[in-house]
Amino acid sequence: MSAIGLKFSLPRSRHVLPGFRLSLGFTLFYLTGIVLIPLLALVLRPFSLGLDGFWSAISTPRVLASLRLSFGMALVAAAIDSVFGIIIAWVLVRYRFPGKRILDAVIDLPFALPTAVAGIALSALYAPNGWIGAPLAHYGIRIAYTPLGVLVAMTFIGLPFTVRTVQPVLSELGQDVEEVAATLGATRLQTIWRVVLPMLLPALLTGAAMAFARGVGEYGSIIFIAGNIPMVSEIAPLLIVTKLEEFDYAGAAAIGVVMLVASFVMLLALNGLQSWAAKHR
C-alpha cells in the first residue's frame, strides 16, 4: 500500500513547473469535445445498419468505383510527386541559381491556396478551351472531366509533401559518402542512384504516404475538374456529399468509416516508417 502511495507521489513532486493539470486537462477536454466524440459518432453510425447493411452500403458498384478511383489515383499521384519531388528537392538543395528562394517558396502554394481556388483554376486550365487543355485537345487528349483530371488535382495537392520531407534530409546529408563513392570509381549517376537515393528513401516514402493520404481525402480541388461522372470520375468524398444530400446518413457514414480506417492505417504506417527511418539514419 505504502509502496503504491510512494510510486504515485514521486512524479508529482518532480513537477517544478505549474500548470500540468490545467494544461493537460484543457487539452484532453478540447480534444475529446472537438475531435473524439464527433469521430465516435461517425464510427458508431454504420452500426445502425448492421454488419450486412454496412457491407451492402459500401459494396455497391458506384461506391466501389469511387473508392477505387480515389485510392488508385492517389497512389499514381503520390508516385508522380515522388519522382518530381526528389528532382525538385535536389535542385533546391544542391544547385545555386537566381530566383531559387522564390521557387522554394512557391512549392508551398498548394498548402496555402484554398482548394476551391485551385479547383476552378485547374479546371479552367485543363478544360478543352483552356491554356493547357486546348493544345492537348488538338492531339485528342482530354484531361478535365475525366479520371486524368482527378490525377492532375491530386498531383497538385500532394507535391509539397514529397519535396518538404526529402529537402531537409538531403540538406543534412553529408557529401563525404558521395566523395567516397567517387574515389572508389563510381560515376556520378551511379553515386546518385546507388548511394544517395537509398539514403533518401525513408523520407521519400514518408512524403509519398502523406501525399497519398491527402489525395485520397481531397475534395475541393478535384470536384471542379473531375466532371463527377458516376462510375467514371466520381471520387469517394464526393459520393459522401451526394449521400448526405439524399439524407442517407448511414450510407454516407459507411463510406466515411472506410476512409477513416484507411487514414488510420496510413497514420500507423507513417509512424512505423518514421521510427524505421530514425533507426536507419
Partner 1 sequence: MSIFSNGRAGSRQRAFRNPTEDPLWLKLLLGAVAIAFITVLLLLPLVLVFKEALAQGIAAFWASITEPDALAAVRLSLTAAAIAVPLNTVFGIAAAWSVAKFDFPGKTFLVTLIDLPFSVSPVVSGLIYVLVFGMQGWFGPWLNDHNIHVLFALPGIVLATIFVTFPFVARELIPLMTDQGRDEEEAAATLGASGLGTFLRVTLPNIKWGLLYAVLLCNARALGEFGAVSVVSGHIRGQTNTMPLHVELLYNNYDYVGAFAVAALLAMLALVTLVLKSLLEWRFADELAAVHRH
Taking the least distance from each CB to partner 1, the nearer of 15 and 280 is 15
Q: From the CB of 138, what's the least distance to partner 1, in Å?
A: 17
Round to whole Å and give the CA distance between 126 and 149: 8
Whose Cβ is closer to partner 1: residue 93's or residue 273's? 93
Q: Which of residues 23-52 bind partner 1 (CB under 8 A)?
A: 23-24, 26-28, 30-31, 34-39, 41-42, 45
147-172 vs 197-217: helix crossing angle, rounded to 10? 140
Q: Considering the rule CB under 8 A, would residue 244 count as an interface residue with partner 1? A: yes
Minimum distance, C-beta of residue 87 to partner 1, in the bound complex (Å): 5
Q: Phi then psi for 3, rounded to 5 degrees?
A: -60, -40
What's phi and psi for 243, nearest 5 deg?
-65, -35
Indicate whether 134 belongs to the interface with partner 1 (CB under 8 A): no
C-alpha triplet 276, 201, 78: angle, nearest 5° = 105
Q: What is the DSSP string of 89-108?
A: HHHHHH---TTHHHHHHHTT
Each residue 173-212 as x (binds partner 1 by CB under 8 A) or -, in order, gives: --x--xx--xx----xx-x---------------------
Q: For the segment 213-242, give every residue that binds partner 1 (CB under 8 A).
A: 213, 216-220, 224, 237-238, 240-241
Ordered alpha helix ranges (H), the chain: 2-14, 20-31, 37-44, 50-58, 61-94, 100-106, 109-112, 115-126, 133-138, 147-172, 176-183, 188-191, 197-217, 220-226, 236-245, 249-279
Cell numbers linked to 39: 469521430
Minimum CB–partner distance for residue 204 and partner 1 (Å):
16
Total of residues contacting partner 1 (CB under 8 A): 97
- 47-76 residues in contact with partner 1 (CB under 8 A) are none
Give the three cell numbers for residue 145.
472531366
Choose the stretch contacting partner 1; rule: CB under 8 A; options: 58-66, 143-151, 200-208, 260-268.
260-268
Point out which span in 139-147, 199-207, 226-234, 252-260 binds partner 1 (CB under 8 A): 252-260
Chosen residue from 9, 59, 60, 171 binding partner 1 by CB under 8 A: 171
C-alpha cell at 121: 483554376
CB atoms within 10 A of CB 193: 12
| For partner 1, the closer CB: 63 or 107 | 107
For the segment 68-127, give every residue that binds partner 1 (CB under 8 A).
Answer: 84, 87-88, 90-95, 97, 101, 103-122, 124-125
CA 20 to chain CA centroid, nearest Å? 33
